[in-house]
């Protein structure tokens, strides 16, 4: 009995000793690691896959409205014109209107751009009557507007280059129309008066009377020259003028679609005129 109790105690002690040794050999569990703090600048999320672009529109885009093409009538182009209203230095004043018409069609690149029968208007800018003994009549014109047969009107700037008035008028390089004066006529007036006076004197008192009459006739002729003006400058209706463009004309091609060269109004030309003096008012 004593041996059995001793054996049980020894077995219990061995079991308890083995458990303690096992606990001593087992390492302690590692402490739990604290959770990492969130990053200050978190990484952006992965980029989303871009959506497929919409299908391209294969239809062509509407073209912008084309700018109207302009036709250039260059500087120096000659316009042959005929005058519809007569003009005279006797009664002309600056600002008085003048009305003309084109006589021949104008072409640009083989295309009719100004048909015959187109209207041109302008005004008198200077009018000077002839003086006594010396001085000539002068008129200056400025042409300002062109009206085509379809009613299309444009501004222009042109000056005369030549004039056919039926008299002895001429145009200077500035476009001023002048008559040529009448010096020969003045000499003829004095000579005629002198001859007439001499003839009358000779009939009355022979050679002595002829001398006296010649002197009286010369004085009369000279007085006639001094008291009368030189010939007035006349531009009758039907006067033809050649004018030069001083600046280009720009025409809208859409409004210049002429196929007919046009036709000018039939006007009789100016009659040939003799220059004569007029009594000068005081």
Q: Are 264 and 117 in contact (CB under 8 A)?
A: yes
Q: What whole-number distance in Å separates Cα of residue 169 and Cα of residue 276?
A: 14
Q: What whole-number distance in Å separates Cα of residue 276 and Cα of residue 189?
A: 11
pLDDT of residue 63: 45
Q: What whole-number distance in Å separates Cα of residue 139 and Cα of residue 145?
A: 19
Q: What percent of the chain has pLDDT over 70?
A: 54
Closest residue by Cα to residue 202 from 212, 193, 210, 211: 210
pLDDT of residue 279: 47
Compute the residue count for the chain: 282
What confidence tens digit (pLDDT) does each residue in 96-131 have?
999 999 999 999 999 999 999 999 999 999 999 987
pLDDT of residue 95: 95
Token pair for residue 168? 């002895």
Q: Are 112 and 152 in contact (CB under 8 A)?
A: no
CB-based burial label for 83 (10 Å; 0-12, 13-18, 19+): buried
């Amino acid at each position: 009995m004593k041996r059995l109790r001793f054996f049980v105690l020894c077995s219990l002690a061995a079991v308890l000793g083995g458990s303690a040794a096992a606990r001593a050999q087992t390492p302690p569990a590692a402490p739990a690691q604290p959770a990492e703090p969130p990053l200050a600048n978190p990484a952006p999320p992965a980029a989303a896959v871009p959506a497929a672009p919409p299908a391209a529109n294969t239809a062509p885009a509407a073209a912008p409205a084309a700018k109207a093409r302009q036709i250039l009538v260059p500087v120096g182009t000659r316009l042959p014109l005929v005058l519809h209203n007569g003009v005279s230095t006797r009664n002309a004043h600056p600002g008085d209107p003048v009305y003309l018409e084109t006589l021949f069609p104008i072409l640009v690149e083989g295309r009719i751009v100004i048909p015959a029968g187109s209207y041109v208007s302008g005004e008198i800018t200077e009018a000077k009557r002839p003086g006594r003994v010396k001085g000539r009549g002068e008129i200056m014109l400025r042409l300002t507007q062109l009206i085509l047969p379809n009613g299309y009107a444009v501004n222009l700037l042109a000056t005369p280059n030549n004039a056919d008035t039926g008299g002895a008028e001429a145009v200077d390089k500035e476009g001023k129309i002048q008559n040529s004066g009448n010096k020969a006529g003045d000499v003829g007036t004095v000579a005629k008066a002198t001859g007439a006076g001499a003839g009358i004197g000779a009939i009355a008192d022979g050679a002595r009377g002829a001398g006296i009459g010649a002197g009286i006739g010369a004085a009369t002729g000279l007085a006639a020259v001094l008291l009368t003006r030189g010939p007035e400058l006349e531009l009758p209706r039907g006067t033809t003028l050649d004018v030069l463009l001083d600046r280009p004309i720009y025409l809208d091609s859409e409004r210049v679609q002429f196929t007919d060269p046009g036709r000018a109004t039939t006007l009789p030309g100016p009659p040939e005129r003799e220059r004569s003096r007029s009594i000068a008012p005081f």
